[in-house]
Structure 1
Amino acid sequence: MPETLLDIVRREGVGQLGAYFRPGAYTGQWFETFAGGGDRADTRDRIVVDDLYAVEALNVQVPFAVGTELLDGRLGRDVSARLRQLPTVAELGADGTDALVADGGPADQAWQLLVDRNKRTGVGWVIAGKLLARKRPRLIPVYDSIVRCQLGAPKRVWLTLHDQLAANDGELRAALAEVRAIVGVDDKVSVLRVLDIVLWRRHEKAHRRTDPAACPRLRCVRL
């Protein structure tokens, strides 16, 4: 029977997060903190070289043509305009943040700009999400095919996670923060990222061993 996110975090959170942040275990443990983070005051509203390099810690690479457009082109200016509408303190699950990640909202607009395949500079949905998660780690989740499989591939994952994190006066957010504190991870690693790590770690091996379309754990989380 599918488990809830809260069940999983309470039972597996400390072990999964601790394993991820064991020294030398995963390059992704530097994603949030590299060069001071993507949401630091001097670069929070624009994509910079540090961000392009940081996403490589999560095993993706921004194509060179996209990178140049983000650093010094129209694409970068357009994405920056949307980032300026997304406060760095906005946290998924908090009051009012659902409007920021709703269809047609500033986060969605930025994501659409990045994945627009009609442009020479379009990138896939995984890279687009990781770039935005680097810039707004409290608001935008790191999301790939493994985590999507764990969650049952919801159509509007940002809003779905917002509802989960807001439920019962933020009970899930509190549980994630507790796991982070127990493991001793830098609080620059958001609770949203803690959730991603727990879900990714518990499913990564099983997902890679099988055809993703037939993955036996497709709906192992109840949302």
Structure 2
Amino acid sequence: MDAGLRDIVRSHVGSEDAVGHLREYFGLDGGRPYTGARFEGLGGGGDRVGVADVVTAEDLVAVQMLSVRVPERVSLDLLEGDLGQQMSKLLREIPCELDMVDAETGELESGSAAEWAWDLLDAQYGVGWVMAGKLLARKRPRLLPVYDRVVRCVLGTPSSFWLGLHHALRVDDHALHHELLDLRKRAGIPETVSALRVCDIVLWMAHHEGHRPLRCPGHGTLSP
């Protein structure tokens, strides 16, 4: 699975369309940017000092930029209730200034604080795996990737996306990670956009137009 995921990602990152897709997404060639272009940077970012371990109203708005909406009752619980307190406790255990490529497997595997946070949102509060992943990616954009049904289809529905991508980034002396940083530079997008976000956008742009008409199988349960 790891080798297959790595090959798929590298084929898209290295494609002739990758730079153009990134520039289109961020509106750098005169077009209107996608709303998701503001996901990481809105309000100064979800991982900025002072709010990195707290889910804020800005985080909930940022998630909407990726076409999902946290249910009203869950939103209130995140901002004012027990869920917010539980998330803050878990976020304090998840490194804020760590890139996935530099993380140890223990930071991402079953039993990690990140996995517990994902499970808390998805299984216990029922927001769904897509929304849970996007909220965590907003809080830890360098460590945890955005992941949705479109990207899952592109990658062939891996059983553990976090671990598969982690391995792909680290092999060959971190070659894929460096390719993502180089792609970001060539596309002219800000360095504040994480390597993981570059990866997500390239994969998503390659398939989102064809995903719905083809009724692709990017759905169901999975592990992060």
Please say whether Structure 1 and Structure 2 have the same fold, judged by a TM-score greater than 0.5.
yes
Q: Is residue 200 from structure 1 mapped to residue 208 from structure 2 by the alignment?
A: no
1:197 is displaced (CA, Å) by 0.3
Q: Is residue 155 from structure 1 mapped to residue 159 from structure 2 by the alignment?
A: yes
1:167 is displaced (CA, Å) by 1.0
1:195 is displaced (CA, Å) by 0.4
1:95 is displaced (CA, Å) by 4.5
Q: In the alignment, is the contact (CA less than 8 A) between 2:118 and 2:132 conserved in 1?
A: yes
Q: Which residue identity does 1:17 align to in structure 2?
A: L
Q: Is residue 94 from structure 1 mapped to residue 98 from structure 2 by the alignment?
A: no
- 1:17 aligned residue (16, 22, 41): 22
What TM-score does the superposition give when structure 2 sets the normalisation length? 0.89
Q: Deviations over 1:68-99 (max 9, x none)?
A: 11011111111111111111111112142x21
The answer for the alignment partner of 2:50 in structure 1 is 42
Q: Which residue identity does 1:38 align to in structure 2?
A: G
SS of residue matched to 1:186? coil
Q: Deviations over 1:132-177 (max 9, x none)?
A: 0000001111100000011111111100000001111111111110
Q: In the alignment, is the contact (CA less than 8 A) between 2:46 and 2:140 conserved in 1?
A: yes
Query: What pairs up with 1:74-113 in 2 under 5 angstroms?
Result: 74-96=82-104, 98-113=105-120
Q: Is residue 212 from structure 1 mapped to residue 203 from structure 2 by the alignment?
A: no
Q: Which residue identity does 2:123 align to in structure 1?
A: D
Please give the alpha-carbon distance, in whole angstroms, between the structure 2 residues aligned to 1:202 and 1:129: 20
Q: Deviations over 1:8-29 (max 9, x none)?
A: 2122321221111115231000
Query: Which ranges in structure 1 are unaligned for 5 or more consecutive residues?
Result: 215-223
Query: Which ranges in structure 2 are unaligned for 5 or more consecutive residues?
Result: 219-224
What TM-score does the superposition give when structure 1 sets the normalisation length? 0.90
The answer for the alignment partner of 1:190 in structure 2 is 194
Q: Which residue identity does 1:101 align to in structure 2?
A: L
The answer for the alignment partner of 1:218 in structure 2 is none
Q: In the alignment, is the contact (CA less than 8 A) between 1:101 and 1:158 conserved in 2?
A: yes
List structure 1 runs of 4+ shifted beyond 3 angstroms.
Answer: none
